[in-house]
Amino acid sequence: MTTGDEGTVSIGRPIANTQFYVLDVDEQPQPVGVPGELFIGGDGVAREYWKRPDLTSERFRPDLFAGRAGARMYRTGDLAKWLPDGRIDFLGRADNQLKIRGYRVELGEIEAALEEQPTIRQAVVIAREDTPADVRLVAYLLSDATISPVALRTALAARLPDFMVPAHYVQLNAFPLTPNKKVDRKALPKPVDTLPADRMTEAPNTIAKPADAPVPSGNVEEQIAAVWRGVLGVSQITPNDNFFSLGGHSLLAVQVHRELKAIFGPAKLSITDIFRFPTLGALSRHLAPDQPVPGAKKAEPVVQETTDMAGQSRGQMRQDVMSRRREMRARRRESA
């Protein structure tokens, strides 16, 4: 049994003429044991970044605790906490934490989970907002073999909540680097597409569609696919593609529902149908059950009542619970 503190690194105590501050987002001191961002003040603080006024104003802050005019402290970007004995523990990087749709996300935790997979040599995860108000997690990967997004999603879903599972997976030959030989996250390429499970390519510039991939058939399926393409920013959608695996979430589900209602009418589609029939083929068969689709089976909801809960796998039960949560959140947004 572990406490989770075994991997922390102690920074120790400040040296002479140096002050450590562990501050919250409002730059107010945190109590002992409460994580915050580490700031450093004292005689050793430099004046500025050379010819970088933007970075200087971000990192060099007025030191309101020094008791003298003009004092400044340096914002390290490190997460830390005070220990009762006056030492400080290093907890990680503050700039690798962010909020997505109200959830706090630790990018380093996602990267660590990806790098535990056998074929992944290195992983970098960032949040991108290539479409206004639509923030998505993108995983950039180095691997000696062609990666399988469906396998990665399955592995990540087994240990991370769904909001921490990346929507895009981009395989690169090498990461762009800064002059200091660190990964230049700002230079990572924009994903050309949201790649379904069986369509990962090594380069983000070309996305080849398999010759045997099914294509949308029938007017209803084409209309739904057109809405999905517009909302998700996906150029290729097959009947077997899952809305949530393509990067959809409850907010986008509300948008899709709104657009589909305008096409098919409110009586034909409820917000819960987006969650109950998450694949393109299943949703189209639900909306047009009499429309023939070659080789198609009857649409069945993903979330169903069952009397044999003991026979469900842990993964199935988790999927049911998460689907119900998405459905409830979407209902609240719809009523609002």
Q: Give, for all 336 residues of the chain, the pLDDT tens digit.
A: 333 344 457 889 999 999 999 998 889 999 998 888 999 999 999 989 898 898 899 899 999 999 888 899 999 988 889 999 999 988 777 766 677 767 778 787 888 889 889 889 999 999 888 777 778 889 999 998 988 887 888 888 888 888 888 888 999 999 998 887 778 888 999 887 544 444 443 333 333 344 444 444 458 888 999 998 888 877 778 888 888 877 777 788 888 899 988 888 877 788 888 888 888 889 988 888 766 554 444 545 554 443 343 344 444 555 555 566 566 666 666 655
- The architecture that CATH gives domain 219-335 is Orthogonal Bundle (1.10)
**The dihedral sign for the CA sequence 212, 213, 219, 220:** positive
Domain ranges for the chain: 9-95, 101-187, 219-335
Query: Can you identify the CATH homologous superfamily of domain 9-95?
Result: Luciferase; Domain 3 (2.30.38.10)
What number does CATH give the domain 101-187?
A: 3.30.300.30
Q: Is the Cβ–Cβ distance between 186 and 177 less than 8 Å?
A: no
Handedness of CA 288, 289, 290, 292 (dihedral sign): positive
C-alpha of 310 from chain center: 32
